[in-house]
Structure 1
Amino acid sequence: MHDSGKSAWLAYPLLLVGAVVFLFPLVWMVARSFMGLDDLYKVPPIVFPTKWEASAYDDIWTIRPFLSYIRNTVIVVACSVVGATVSSALCAYGFARLKFPLRGLIFGVVLATMMLPSAVTMIPVYVLFSKLHWTNTLMPLIVPTFFGGGAFNIFLLRQFFAGLPNDLDEAAKIDGANLWDIFWRIAMPLCKPALTVVAIGSFMNTWNDFMGPLLYLSKEKSFTLALGLYALSPGEAGGATINSITTAQLMAACSLAVIPVVLVFFFAQKKLISGTAVSTGIKG
């Protein structure tokens, strides 16, 4: 008991120092969004403003179509979360509960795609979507999520489905349930912890995705939030000039963009941890 108490007293200061180090960039960003020009360019730099101003949060809505960025991002995120979750669950259930020729080989090929760098497929996929005339639309960011949902998600859900007792399937078949009924009414409800992990992961990846929008979107009306923030940067996409936006306004836009990610992680962290533990077989 004495040793465990001593270890706890040593752990808390280390955790506090680590928290301060990792939170400092976030605090710096938010604090600078409330600074005036005098505080922004002080030497040496200051962390907190001498006078708190919220004008930057009003300005960003008129400098760029920020509301359009948010709307496009919400559409892409909502569709991607549904597509990735449902399609990966269908694929995982097939690999875990159905028997068909070369099942192990096909699953191995799916896992092997995780080692394939995205840069390798970037040009062929772009050419494909260009031939379909989907560039400058949100389709290239949405449609692929409905075709498998990603190898990692398939692997994660397969581990969960494989751990369900076979007696559940047999009992359902005796009661007259078909394959779809077993999947949708029995397996999916039992799979909620793992589905939560997939949904949260898909949300995080899609909300923060920059490379996809950069490849396929060149018209500002179709920009997502990540690409819109890049457009707000001086001299970058969208033709901004050096004097068109202040650091406070850019930090205000970044602060608003990070709020949904922080909220999702804050309210879903317990489900995220428990879902990962259950899906991978880790027990506390």
Structure 2
Amino acid sequence: MRTSGKSALLAYPLLAAFAIVFLFPLIWMVARSFMGLDDLYKVPPIVFPTKWMANSYSEIWSLKPFPTYIRNTGIVVLCSVIGATLSSALCAFGFARLRFPYRNLIFGIVLSTMMLPGAVTMIPVYVLFSKLHWTNTLLPLIVPTFFGGGAFNIFLLRQFFATLPPDFDEAAKIDGANLWNIFWRISLPLCLPGLTVVAIGTFMSTWNDFMGPLIYLSKEQSFTLALGLYALSPGEAGGSTIGTITTAQLMAACSLAIVPVILVFFFAQKKLISGTAISTGIKG
């Protein structure tokens, strides 16, 4: 017990030190969003402002159409989470619970797509969406999520479905349930931790996605939040070119952009941890 106590006394300060190191960029960003011009360009730089000013948070709304960016991002995120979660669950259920020819071979091919770099498919996919006249719309960012939801999500949910006792399916069939009822009413609720992991992962990747909007969107009214933040370019951030955008305003916009991610992770962390633990075979 003494050894355990001593280890804890050493572990907590060490963990706190590492936490401060990893959180320092976030602290720096938020602190600079509350700085005035005098504090922003002090040499040497200071971490915390001498005078806290929150006017940057109200000023950014007049610089760019951030409500439009947030609306577009919300549409993409909501549709992507629904599409990726449901489609990957359907695919995973088929691979785990159904018996059909070459099932393992097809599943291996699906997994092999994880090793395919995104840069390889970037141009063909862009040409496809361009032929469909979907550029400058949100469709290229939404529609693909309804076709499988990603190989990793399929693999993750397949592990959940495979652990369910087959007696559940047999009992449901005796009661007259078809495959859709078995999937929707029995298997899906039992795999809620895995679905939560997929939903949170999809939310975070979609909310932070920059490359997709950069490729397909060029009109400001269709920008997502990540692309809208890019519109506040570093050349403008110092105020030397246009004189209307300061570093504090840029940091304020970035600080607001990460709030939804922090909130989602904070409220769903228990489901996320339990889902990850079950899928990897770790039990508390």
- Which TM class, normalised by the smaller chain length? over 0.9
What secondary structure sits across from 1:134 in the alignment? coil
What secondary structure sits across from 1:101 in the alignment? coil
Query: Displaced runs of 4+ in structure 1, greater than 6 A?
Result: none
Question: Are the counterparts in 2 of residues 234 and 243 from structure 1 also a CA contact under 8 Å?
Answer: no
Aligned pair count reads 281
**Equivalent-residue separation in structure 1 for 2:46 and 2:235 (angstroms):** 26
**Of 272-281 and 65-74, the range deviating more from structure 2:** 272-281
Match of 1:44 in 2: 44
What secondary structure sits across from 1:48 in the alignment? coil
Question: Are the counterparts in 2 of residues 72 and 224 from structure 1 also a CA contact under 8 Å?
Answer: yes
Match of 1:17 in 2: 17
Question: Are the counterparts in 2 of residues 85 and 149 from structure 1 also a CA contact under 8 Å?
Answer: yes
Match of 1:53 in 2: 53
| 1:128-207 → structure 2 map (5 Å cutoff) | 128-207=128-207
What secondary structure sits across from 1:122 in the alignment? helix
Question: Are the counterparts in 2 of residues 156 and 280 from structure 1 also a CA contact under 8 Å?
Answer: no
CA gap of 1:187–1:241, structure 2 versus 1, over 3 A, is farther
Name the Cα RMSD after superposition: 1.2
TM-score, length-scaled by structure 1: 0.97
Cα drift, residue 60 of structure 1: 0.7
**Equivalent-residue separation in structure 2 for 1:278 and 1:205 (angstroms):** 22
Question: Are the counterparts in 2 of residues 126 and 216 from structure 1 also a CA contact under 8 Å?
Answer: yes
**Equivalent-residue separation in structure 2 for 1:234 and 1:278 (angstroms):** 43
Q: Deviations over 1:226-259 (max 9, x none)?
A: 01000012448xxx94533100000000000000
Question: Are the counterparts in 2 of residues 214 and 227 from structure 1 also a CA contact under 8 Å?
Answer: yes
**Equivalent-residue separation in structure 2 for 1:33 and 1:122 (angstroms):** 36
Q: Deviations over 1:178-227 (max 9, x none)?
A: 01000000000101010000000000000000000000000111000001
Q: Deviations over 1:132-181 (max 9, x none)?
A: 00000000000000000000000000000000000000000011100100
Cα drift, residue 280 of structure 1: 2.6
Match of 1:283 in 2: 283
**Equivalent-residue separation in structure 1 for 2:148 and 2:281 (angstroms):** 23
Match of 2:8 in 1: 8
TM-score, length-scaled by structure 2: 0.97
**Equivalent-residue separation in structure 2 for 1:244 and 1:148 (angstroms):** 45
**Equivalent-residue separation in structure 2 for 1:90 and 1:281 (angstroms):** 22
Q: Deviations over 1:71-113 (max 9, x none)?
A: 1000000000000000000000000000011100000000000
**Of 270-279 and 141-150, the range deviating more from structure 2:** 270-279
| 1:203-282 → structure 2 map (5 Å cutoff) | 203-235=203-235, 241-282=241-282
Structure 1 gaps of 5+ residues are none
Match of 1:82 in 2: 82
Query: How high is the sequence identity, in percent, across the aligned residues?
Result: 83
Cα drift, residue 54 of structure 1: 1.1
What secondary structure sits across from 1:58 in the alignment? helix
